[in-house]
Amino acid sequence: MNKKRLALLALALVVVGLGLFIRHKAKGGDPFWIAAGWLLTAVVVLRVGLALRRGLKLFRAQTAAEGVTLQGIDKLTTSAMPPWMRSYYTIEKKVYGGFWRALTRKPLAAAPGFTVANGPRGTLVRVGLLLGIAVLLCAPSGFGHLVPETRLGLLAGVLYYGPVLYALVWVIGMRRVLRESAHRVTADAVELDLGVRASATVAAARIVRCGALLVPLAQYRAMHQIDSNQVWTVAPLEKANVLISLDAVAALETVWFGYPKTVNTQHIALYVDEPHAFVDALSALIPAGADERGMQNCMDFGPALHI
């Protein structure tokens, strides 16, 4: 949904609200607002009715072809959503699934490849977030007597605990999905997978050099005069320990938290639990002579990179 449609929707809701207020509360209200309220109310009801009719038609077609299944209902639900909501819904399903597998202690089914979830900083951040959520969950017990035992107090409790519990589900769910994800090196590409955070595919033919970083990324960029805009960092919560250089600036089609995003970059900095094994596997894909082709763009990696 673009900004224009959002603005029109907000305006419609405001006018409908004003029209309803004038019709029911004001005496001798302005006929213009009353008419506008009734008109826009009718438009909203009509749009909802058409959406329900379209959904019912899709549901009947789906059930006639495949029967009533959870997968079919989920498919219909996803197809009926606008693109921005569809992406969030897809990510949320992954998070909920990861949370449920962690809650029920399902055996970890790690993806084949090079894992990315065992870094030290990510563990510290996750523990800090869980401690913060625990404090927020326990905090109301100290002033619970100040909240009246009424519907208003119940609403206040829901508004407070709801977002906190939602954050807890996301922290645990994202962590579980990340533990089940891994970067993969295939015959002709590198598939980057960071769970619900990001994913991308880089053609091996575009890679001219890769190596394990022995110094912080910022220091390496300063040593070799690489602009930060030329480096795409794919290492959330961790320090990048691998650098991949392409033959030129490339437009990578990536997915960031479920939403497609084009990234223009020549260097990719990422974190891998076993950087040297990842570099060895990726180096085998680099075509012969690629290093010479990339010298003008990559320069000499020097002591900062282990090749």
pLDDT in tens, 128-176: 888 888 888 777 665 555 555 666 667 777 778 888 888 899 999 999 9
Task: Identify the pLDDT of residue 45.
Answer: 75
Instruction: Report the percent of the chain where pLDDT is more than 70.
Output: 70
Q: Are strands 189-193 and 198-203 parallel, antiparallel or unpaired?
A: antiparallel
Asked if residues 65 and 44 have their Cβ atoms less than 8 Å apart, the reply is no
| Alpha-helix runs per DSSP H in 225-263 | none
Helix axes 83-103, 70-79, angle to 10 degrees: 140
Q: Considering the entire predicted model, what is its pTM?
A: 0.68
The answer for 148, left when phi > 0, alpha when psi is -120 to 50, beta otherwise, is beta
- Dump pLDDT digits (tens) for 290-302: 554 443 333 334 4
- Dump pLDDT digits (tens) for 82-136: 777 788 888 888 999 999 999 998 888 767 889 998 888 887 888 888 888 888 8
CA–CA dist 230, 171 (Å, integer): 30
- Dump pLDDT digits (tens) for 204-218: 889 998 889 888 888
CA–CA dist 228, 265 (Å, integer): 10
Q: Which two tokens stand for residue 51?
A: 């959406």
Task: Identify the pLDDT of residue 183.
Answer: 92
Length, in residues, of the chain: 307
Of 80 and 182, the one with more pLDDT: 182
CA–CA dist 81, 70 (Å, integer): 17
Q: Which two tokens stand for residue 8?
A: 């029109």
Q: Is 203 helix (H, G, I), strand (E, B) or coil?
A: strand
Our CA angle for 102, 106, 112, nearest 5°, is 95
Phi first, then psi: give them for residue 289, nearest 5 degrees: 85, -5
CA dihedral sign, ordered 213, 214, 220, 224: negative
CA–CA dist 99, 189 (Å, integer): 31
